[in-house]
Amino acid sequence: MLNMMNIIAAAPAASVPANLTSSPAAAANGSLLVHYTLALLAVGAVLYAFRSISRAADASPLQMILGLLRASRTVLFASVWIVGILGTMRMLAMSGLPINAIAKALFDGVACGIAVIATFFIIRQFAAPPWWRLNAWNPATDTLGERGSLREAAMWILGDARLGLLSMRLRDRIIVCVGMPAIATNLAWMLGFERMLQLAFGLLLVLYVALAVALMTANRIPRVLMSRLVDLRHVARRIASGDLGARASTHELGDYEELGDLVSDLNTMARALQLRDSENRTLHERLTYMLHTEQELATRDALTGLRNRRYFVDSLRAELDRSGRTGATCAVAIIDLDNFKQVNDRFGHQEGDAVLQRTAHALVAALRPYDLACRLGGEEFGVIFPQTRPEEAQVVLDRIMHSLGNAGPQQMAQTFSGGIASFPEHARDDETLYRLADEAAYDAKLKGKARNVLYDPVQTKQMDSPERQADKRRADMVATAKALVATVDAKESMSRNHSETVGRYAKQLALALGNDGEFAEQMYLCGILHDVGKIGLSETIMNKPGRLTAAEFEQVK
């Protein structure tokens, strides 16, 4: 510094023209320089504004206004920077100093610039609050010598440029801090204080170079970060919309470790969600299959393969609703096998089951594809004839009667008594229609069996005899018992049809011991109802493979 001052003091006074700041030519040159610079800035502002508008073509008016304001701010800062650079270059060109004096001034300016930047860095790293320490510098491992390039050194000086977010905020402030001293220097030169400001030339040049590197770094990093953040946002939206196969790209992450961690975490989350979704889908398919299986078991008769009474009632209600909307007719038939109790008593329960199975096969073979045959319980079957008049249903039942010629025990003939009622001729609701068809079947038995009878209101009084009422109560009791047993068996998957098997064995033992058929039927009911108390237990307890806890055992008791 003393050497430079000695050189300046020893320089002749004429080294700087006395009329440098006051000559018309100098003023004209300065004015032309300022006008030229302002013209360039005006053109740049217009182009930048059009660029911002084109980028925000689909933006709202408020967003376009904000874009123009940001463009104006950038143009203003660029103006300060350019005017400062041009002013400094103009002062150097018009200084009239010898080359060695300018070189010394630049050298001292560079030294001052390095000292200022180093002081700024030390204050920032050791005296500044934690939120301002941009790169979390570690003195033991992170030194300037480890940075391999000028760009990395500038990134280190300006902060953690991998993040880049705070660099964008510092950029405008650096421009103002550097540009305003340059403008002040130019004004001081024009006022005649040139000798006092020669030391500032080198410092300004160093700051301009550092600023250029910082701007290039700060401009590039936000663009990379913003593009990757936009990609992450799109991936997050795809995942939120259900596309769990979406993944964020790991290409060109470079040294941005924090961004790489964010991408890795997002992809890990997406893979976990996809795995969980796959597991949920598999579980849903299993539950759907199990539910379908349970519904199938709950609505199908295990012995004959036909649908059971529950399915018959639901289907009859649905068919009557459809027939009511379309104005169609619907016939219902109740079939009760003749002398079936004697078959069980004489030939055994196993032969009785075979008769029921052969009867079911004959029903399915004789009915139309859209007719429905169900086993209602015991030796009773029900048939729904959609869009069929009662006379047509009677013809079908007669055909079924003939097909049972060898369906009886030991291939003997098997007959049944059938009753038919029609919607809407005889009744308009499912319960009444079913009751009338059942009454008609009982009328067929009273008339000698082996026949099919259409419902006749005149026969109602005869059908309500005490004997018929007793038979109905017994049938209802058996149907209720079997419904309870079906509920228990549906819960206990490990012992399916256990109650039915116990009931059959109890009936066979009663017959083998010489008891009559009525007593054997009572033993059958006792057998199927022996576990009916399980209906109040949960499926978890009933299907638990291990020992029960004390609380579970208390619930069983």
Q: What pLDDT, on a 0 to 100 scale, did the predictor assign at position 312?
A: 94
Which one is predicted more confidently, 527 or 394?
394
The domain made up of 303-457 is a member of CATH 3.30.70.270:
yes
* pLDDT class of 432 with cuts at 50, 70, 90: very high
pLDDT of residue 156: 42
- 177 pLDDT more than 90: no
Higher-confidence position of 193 and 383: 383
Does the pLDDT at position 159 exceed 90? no
Distance of CA 379 to the CA centre of its chain: 52
Average pLDDT over residues 451-472: 70
Does residue 336 register a pLDDT over 80? yes
Residue 368 has pLDDT above 80, yes or no: yes
Residue 409: count other Cβ atoms within 10 Å of its Cβ.
Answer: 19
- Helix or strand holding residue 556 (H, E): helix 550-556
DSSP annotation of 331 reads E
The total of other beta-carbon atoms located within 10 Å of residue 465's CB is: 12
Phi and psi at residue 124, to the nearest 5°: -65, -40
Q: What is the pLDDT of residue 207?
A: 61
**Does residue 388 carry a pLDDT above 70?**
yes
- Positive or negative, the CA dihedral 253, 255, 258, 261 is positive
Element (H, E) at 290: helix 257-298
How far apart (Å, rounded) are the C-alpha atoms in residues 17 and 436? 130
**What pLDDT is attached to residue 164?**
41
DSSP for 337-361 reads ETTHHHHHHHH-HHHHHHHHHHHHH
Rounded to an integer, the average pLDDT of 140-150 is: 41
508-550 confidence digits (pLDDT tens): 888 788 877 778 778 888 887 777 767 666 666 666 666 777 7
Handedness of CA 249, 251, 256, 261 (dihedral sign): positive
Distance in angstroms between the alpha carbons of the first and the last residue of the chain? 104
* Angle at 65 (CA atoms; ends 62, 71), nearest 5 degrees: 145
Say how many CA atoms lie within 13 Å of 36 toward its Cβ: 8
pLDDT reading at 227 higher than 90: no
The confidence score (pLDDT) of residue 223 equals: 62
Burial readout 128-148 (b: 16 or more C-beta within 10 A, e: otherwise) = eeeeeebbebeeeeeeeeeee
> Beta partners for 452?
418
The band of 421, judged by pLDDT with boundaries at 50, 70 and 90, is very high
pLDDT one-digit tens code per residue, 96-128: 556 555 555 555 555 555 555 555 555 555 554
pLDDT of residue 8: 34
- List pLDDT tens digits, range 301-332: 888 989 999 899 999 999 999 999 999 999 99
Which residues are within 8 A (CB) of 336 and not within 5 positions of it... i.e. 6 or more apart?
379, 380, 381, 416, 417, 418, 441, 442, 445
- Residue 11 pLDDT more than 50? no
Helix (H) or strand (E) holding 451: strand 451-454
Q: Where does the pLDDT of residue 181 fall: very low under 50, low under 70, confident under 90, or very high at 90 and above?
A: low
Q: At what angle do helices 466-491 and 257-298 cross, to 10 degrees?
A: 150
Amino acid identity at 517? G
242 vs 277: CA distance, rounded Å: 10
306 within 8 A of 300, measured Cβ to Cβ: yes
**Predicted local confidence at residue 236, as pLDDT:** 83
Per the CB < 8 A criterion, the answer to whether 388 and 331 are in contact is yes
User: In the prediction, which pLDDT does 74 show?
Assistant: 62
What per-residue confidence (pLDDT) applies to 278?
86
Most confident of 71-85, 445-459, 470-484, 507-521: 445-459
Contacts with 145 (C-beta within 8 Å, 6 or more apart), sequence order: none
Find the angle CA(98)-CA(101)-CA(102) to the nearest 5 degrees: 85
pLDDT at residue 163, rounded to an integer: 38
For residue 67, what are the contacts with CB-CB under 8 A and spacing of at least 6? 52, 53, 55, 56, 59
The mean pLDDT value for 478-487 works out to 72
Specify the pLDDT at position 389. Answer: 92
Average pLDDT over residues 170-197: 50
% of the chain at pLDDT higher than 90:
13
H helices of 300-426, in order, are 309-326, 340-347, 349-366, 390-403
Mean pLDDT of the chain: 69
Mean pLDDT across the stretch 417-437? Answer: 92
Which residue in the block uniquely carries the two structure tokens 């006022």? 191
| Rounded-to-integer distance, Cα 453 and Cα 455, Å | 6
Using pLDDT thresholds of 50, 70 and 90, give the confidence band for residue 130: very low
**Model's pTM, two decimal places?**
0.43
Position 165 scores a pLDDT of: 42
Is 372 within 8 Å of 384 (Cβ atoms)?
yes
Q: Which of 198-202, 502-506, 538-542 has the lowest mean pLDDT?
A: 198-202
Say yes or no to pLDDT of 95 above 90.
no
The radius of gyration of the chain's CA atoms, rounded to the nearest angstrom, is 50
pLDDT at site 247: 83
Instruction: Determine which of 146-150, 204-208, 459-463 has the lowest per-residue pLDDT on average.
Output: 146-150
Listed range (60-64, 107-111, 140-144, 497-501) with the worst mean pLDDT = 140-144
Task: Return the structure tokens found at 183.
Answer: 């403008």
